Amino acid sequence: MVRLPVEERIVELPEGVTASYEGGVLTVKGPRGELRRNLAHAGVEIKVSDGKVVVRREWAGKRERSMIGTVAAHVKNMALGVSRGFTYKLKIVSSHFPITVKVSDGKVYIENFIGERRPRTAKIVGDVKVKVEGEDVIVQGINLEDVSRQPPTSSRQPKSGRKTPGSSSTASTSTRKPWRDKQEMAKPKIPEAEKARRSLSKKIRQTKAGKPRFIRQESWRYKRVKPAWRKPRGIDSRMRRSKKGWPASPSTGYRTPKSIRSLHPSGFSEALVHRVEDLKGLNPQTHAVRIAGSVGKRKRVEIFREAESLGLKVLNPPKIVEAGKGEAG
């Protein structure tokens, strides 16, 4: 799969919610409280600015892209928790033996389960509130992980739909289902130009994935023959005659579609830049800058700075090191 120069997710914070990231710990504060999470092990770059949390990684592979999505989901759940909170409802179901559920001293007590004299208990874990209303057990809190795992597993807790030997009835709690507020978090609107670029990038990846790898004839048999493509020759060559079961040879049918033929895998149209003046007239939504290899260090940094100010993406950014008053690439 093609690796993009920068893979990132942006999470918009609701009104009244602030976030900070220091020492690998993300802190989110809101009207309902404060949540912290250690993300130092994630291997991604997290930035907080202007009411947004940006999770990014340069040249991310499959595992890194998955981690970016996971971290962004954690941030979104934390922001939703401190702004509106989470509520889970569990249904009390019984058959033949009516059961009673009570909450006391940080534990949930289930009495008269299939006629047992000793109540079954489940310890409440995390900073959550548990209350019983009729046939419903309501769990509320700001941490989604704490709320979703209530009541926690216990050796004395009944399992859903499981019968005890010798009994003819069961009592159980239904599968947990989250009850959130009707208003979901406002998702950031993606501009049409960005949607078009992402669509092109997806089409490029799919096109490349569908193409075979063209290799040289007999390269799999002899170590001295390199796999780099060479036209197969020989009157009896099965590869030249395109016989079934032999590696494919390049043909016009494998040509890249015209709409994406000259585009970068990220969906941008590459613009080769030799000097700062070449940046004029480039569109940040459709063009990406590639600094020419013959450009020196100082001018390379100047081009990069100017491209950043214009909002242009640089495909080969220089490594800038601050050393006193000077900069080196």
Whether residue 250 has pLDDT greater than 50: yes
How many whole angstroms separate alpha carbon 232 and alpha carbon 110? 77
Higher pLDDT residue, 160 or 29? Answer: 29
21 located within any domain: yes
- Residues 158 and 115 sit within 8 Å (Cβ to Cβ): no
- Residues 11 and 47 sit within 8 Å (Cβ to Cβ): no
For the stretch 10-45, what's the b/e string if a residue is b when 16 or more beta carbons lie within 10 angstroms of its beta carbon? Answer: ebbbbeebebebeeeebebbbeeeebebebeebebe
Tell whether 109 and 160 lie within a shared domain: yes
Domain end call among 179, 205, 221: 179
Domain end call among 84, 100, 122: 84
Put simply, whether the predicted model's pTM sits higher than 0.85 gets the answer: no
Q: Write out the residue range of the structural domain in which residue 225 sits.
A: 213-247
Mean pLDDT of 221-230: 95
Mean pLDDT of 272-289: 92
Query: How far apart, in Å, are the Cα atoms of 214 and each of 113, 187, 226, 258?
Result: 68, 43, 12, 21
Whether residue 237 has pLDDT greater than 60: yes
Domain end call among 161, 179, 197: 179
Query: How far apart, in Å, are the Cα atoms of 78 and each of 47, 48, 123, 178, 187?
Result: 16, 14, 24, 15, 15
| Helix, strand or coil, per DSSP, at residue 169 | coil
pLDDT for res 191: 83
Tell whether 12 and 28 lie within a shared domain: yes
Mean pLDDT of 128-157: 76
pLDDT digits (tens, 9 = 90+) for 115-140: 888 888 888 888 888 888 888 888 88
- Residues 131 and 138 sit within 8 Å (Cβ to Cβ): yes
Average pLDDT, the chain: 82
pLDDT for res 216: 96
| Helix, strand or coil, per DSSP, at residue 56 | strand
pLDDT for res 179: 44
pLDDT for res 170: 36
pLDDT for res 91: 84
Mean pLDDT of 148-158: 52
Whether residue 142 has pLDDT greater than 60: yes
